Structure 1
Amino acid sequence: MRILFIHTQYLQKGGEDRAVENEIELLRSRGHEVEILLFSNEAGYGFFQQLRSGLQAVYNRHSYKMTYEKVQAFQPDVVHVHNLFFKASPSILYALHKLEIPVVATLHNYRLLCSNALLLRSGKPCELCANKVFPLQGVIHRCYKSSAAASLAATSFSSVHKLLHTWQQKVDQFIVLTDFAKQIIASSSLKLPENKLVVKPNFTPDIFNSDVKREPFFLFAGRLSEEKGVQSLVQAFQQMPDVQLVIAGQGPLQNEIIDRCAANSNIRFAGNLAQPELINYLQKAQALVFPSLWYEGLPFTMIESFAAGTPVLASKLGAMSSLVQEGSNGLLFKPGSAISIVECVRAFQQTASVKQYNEKARQSYLEKFTPAAGYEQLLTIYKTAIWQKKKP
């Protein structure tokens, strides 16, 4: 099969970029011909450049032309679209539709419903815009980059194409990462047909190593920012001086976190770890603590934790509540509550079945998040998209 990927890269590489790389590598390893058309989100800084970027987010003639020419040259059987915002724009869907190419699109976040893509405002989940065709609340609250103009551009990106029925008519199959995300998207203003919405989680290579021994610490690994809940996490471990916490990552709260670690001997800042180092920490930790305040997509850190046989203690919210089975592969706590995190950690420490947690975490990975599982799901989705395109 010939597959073309289309993706707008993030300025700072993240989980979506990694998911794209994983899928391309997997498909090539199974003998498929795969090429990628990449766009960059470098926008420049002045008012007119920002205005131009906002208009391009809705429809970019140059991206249309690039896509049209790439498809004519490569002649793919199916096109897999990832991030369109902002440089690629939905214009590429019009090029693909004109060429009658089957289209699969992965929704990694809530960009089509929310200007900041997180369904988050003031540190709490917010669904004010989820059911509005043109939600002005995101503009009024300046939800994207704390700017009304930027928020208007981000809102227009999706809303104009809701009115044009682009999302309904120009994509054959939408992939969402969790059952929770499917529920949000299915009941939203996108009004996507049920037969076009399918759950397919991210996958990760197996990292399990039975020779690595557990050590007495809990691990946080992620962006050091408000929406990740790292502040309430630190507050919780300040109340547990007998329990060790390792924090790995970087972000806007980094200096604050470093200062707090210096003041608490049981909390250690490990910095931004390279992938092999992070895997080593995941294999040694008692559990991964994931205190995110937003719904999340499907964090690679969580599925890597399961791959390592490491249980996850997470916020009872969004994707986390879909992935963590209470008392099996982990435990859940109240989002943003240091007290609830303390209670959760203590409950985990007091359990007599830590080994069972390890086994269930590992089982979760083997059942859902392996490359083999991802491959079979991808092929099924591609074949469905091709079949739907051929229907009269």
Structure 2
Amino acid sequence: MKIVMIADLILGGEGRHALGLSEELKRQGHDVEIISFEKGQDSLPYFNLFLSYKVLLSKKALFRLLEEKNPDIIHMHLPFSTMDFLVEEIKRKTKKPVVCTIHLSPGGRSIIDSVVTLYLKKLSPSLKHSDKIICVSKFVKTHLKRISGISEKKLLVIPNGVDVHKFRPQANKSRDFRMLFVGRLSPEKGLSLLFKSFGRLGEGKLCVIGDGPLKSKCIREAVKNKRVEFLGRVNDEALIDNYSSASVVVVPSTWQEAFGMVSIEAMACGTPPLAFAVGGIPEVIDDGCDGFLVKKQTPEALSRRINEARASDLVRIGKNGRKKVLRMYDWKIIAKETLKVYQSLA
């Protein structure tokens, strides 16, 4: 089957999803090409639309590429750009089935949650023209249906996946209690709350990996507190090494995360995630079995749960997480489910 993916590879979870799915579909013998802003994996054909400012030119470039490639399926990963609103035109001009995967979750009361909800409401008339809409969690499906009026028949849930051969436990677990944060360094990811919570803990270490507008704040915290280590942006090899060596991976997001890619990457490496119970995250983590959930978004609740996690059997919980990922989130499984959607439309 010939598949064209349209995705923003710059965005964290969405980019990793699009690349991971594309790589696995290619391994299974399918012809997969990606149209994006950013260069992807060397092993995948890639086309840059140079979308930054020339929206009209980009639109022309998009349709030229779609005509040239003549795929069996067009799979759009949203949000992407103003082209998110072109589903009807893409379907009409190419006469090809269009599948959309939604990587955002409506709902919630924060400013960013409100912006996401508004975006998805505006996007709904365009989305209704797609043949199928894949939601990365039940949470996303429930709230998208509520705000959009899209038919239940078009909506289905296929979660994010992870490369279980790449993300796997290493023999480097830290003897000290070591917490790890991985993600975009922005307010909605809960970094300020995490630093306040960490200040309440008498011992342990905190490592921060990522990039974003709060980078300077992270550097200051690392200078001020010798128990805080800031690594910035790292490659996958270093990321996996840090996932594996950590005692817990803290996911303190305060907005409605659609899924939480960091949680399954941590679990794949045998390390329990510890996260606020927001958005689709509770669908991933079974509290106390393969990770930890925090119900109240306060420094006190977070530090209390960290202490409880520290007193738990983290090795057993980490092994449970790895087993769950192998059972539910291996890209082989996710690609198989996605392929069923394609085949039902082709």
Report the TM-score when normalising by structure 2.
0.86
Match of 2:276 in 1: 315
CA contact under 8 A between 1:6 and 1:81: conserved in structure 2?
yes
Deviation at 1:243, TM superposition (A): 1.9
- 2:160 match: secondary structure: coil
Looking at structure 2, the residues matched to 95 and 261 of structure 1 have their Cα atoms a distance apart, in angstroms, of 48
Match of 1:374 in 2: 334
Match of 2:151 in 1: 193
CA contact under 8 A between 1:63 and 1:92: conserved in structure 2?
no
- 2:211 match: secondary structure: coil
Looking at structure 1, the residues matched to 33 and 334 of structure 2 have their Cα atoms a distance apart, in angstroms, of 19
Distance 1:336 1:26, change over 3 A: same
- 2:288 match: secondary structure: coil
Matches within 5 A, 1:81-120: 81-83=76-78, 85-110=80-105
Deviation at 1:311, TM superposition (A): 0.6
- 1:82 match: secondary structure: strand
CA contact under 8 A between 1:244 and 1:267: conserved in structure 2?
yes
Match of 1:35 in 2: 33
CA contact under 8 A between 2:168 and 2:240: conserved in structure 1?
no
Deviation at 1:384, TM superposition (A): 2.4
Match of 1:176 in 2: 135
Match of 1:74 in 2: 69
Matches within 5 A, 1:326-365: 326-351=287-312, 353-365=313-325
Distance 1:214 1:93, change over 3 A: farther
Q: Percent identity?
A: 25
CA RMSD for the aligned pairs?
2.5
1:384 and 2:321 correspond: no
Per-residue CA deviations over 1:173-193 (Å, capped at 9, x if unaligned) read 1111111111111211x1111
Match of 2:239 in 1: 278
Match of 2:13 in 1: 15
Looking at structure 1, the residues matched to 126 and 290 of structure 2 have their Cα atoms a distance apart, in angstroms, of 40
- 1:90 match: secondary structure: helix
Matches within 5 A, 1:214-253: 214-216=174-176, 217-253=178-214
Looking at structure 2, the residues matched to 41 and 213 of structure 1 have their Cα atoms a distance apart, in angstroms, of 43
Any unmatched runs of 5+ in structure 1? 44-52, 136-154, 387-392
Distance 1:278 1:94, change over 3 A: same
CA contact under 8 A between 2:139 and 2:258: conserved in structure 1?
no
Deviation at 1:84, TM superposition (A): 5.7
Per-residue CA deviations over 1:11-67 (Å, capped at 9, x if unaligned) read x45332222222222111211112233344412xxxxxxxxx7xx5xxx5x555444
CA contact under 8 A between 2:286 and 2:292: conserved in structure 1?
yes
Deviation at 1:366, TM superposition (A): 0.8
Letter in 1 for 2:72: D
Looking at structure 1, the residues matched to 157 and 293 of structure 2 have their Cα atoms a distance apart, in angstroms, of 22
Match of 1:149 in 2: none
CA contact under 8 A between 1:63 and 1:89: conserved in structure 2?
no
Per-residue CA deviations over 1:317-339 (Å, capped at 9, x if unaligned) read 11222211111111111453110
Matches within 5 A, 1:277-316: 277-316=238-277
Deviation at 1:78, TM superposition (A): 1.2
Match of 2:6 in 1: 6
Match of 2:110 in 1: 121
Q: Which moved more, 1:316-325 or 1:171-180?
A: 316-325
Match of 1:139 in 2: none
CA contact under 8 A between 1:215 and 1:285: conserved in structure 2?
no
Looking at structure 2, the residues matched to 250 and 95 of structure 1 have their Cα atoms a distance apart, in angstroms, of 34
Looking at structure 2, the residues matched to 320 and 192 of structure 1 have their Cα atoms a distance apart, in angstroms, of 24
Distance 1:66 1:273, change over 3 A: closer
Looking at structure 2, the residues matched to 81 and 375 of structure 1 have their Cα atoms a distance apart, in angstroms, of 15
Looking at structure 1, the residues matched to 323 and 224 of structure 2 have their Cα atoms a distance apart, in angstroms, of 38
Letter in 2 for 1:72: E
Deviation at 1:120, TM superposition (A): 5.8
Equivalent residue in structure 2 for 1:166, among 126, 132, 144: 126
Deviation at 1:222, TM superposition (A): 1.4
Looking at structure 2, the residues matched to 227 and 195 of structure 1 have their Cα atoms a distance apart, in angstroms, of 32
Distance 1:109 1:312, change over 3 A: same
- 1:296 match: secondary structure: coil
Any unmatched runs of 5+ in structure 2? 37-48
- 1:332 match: secondary structure: strand
Looking at structure 2, the residues matched to 337 and 348 of structure 1 have their Cα atoms a distance apart, in angstroms, of 17
Looking at structure 2, the residues matched to 41 and 14 of structure 1 have their Cα atoms a distance apart, in angstroms, of 18
Distance 1:84 1:328, change over 3 A: closer
Looking at structure 2, the residues matched to 271 and 36 of structure 1 have their Cα atoms a distance apart, in angstroms, of 28
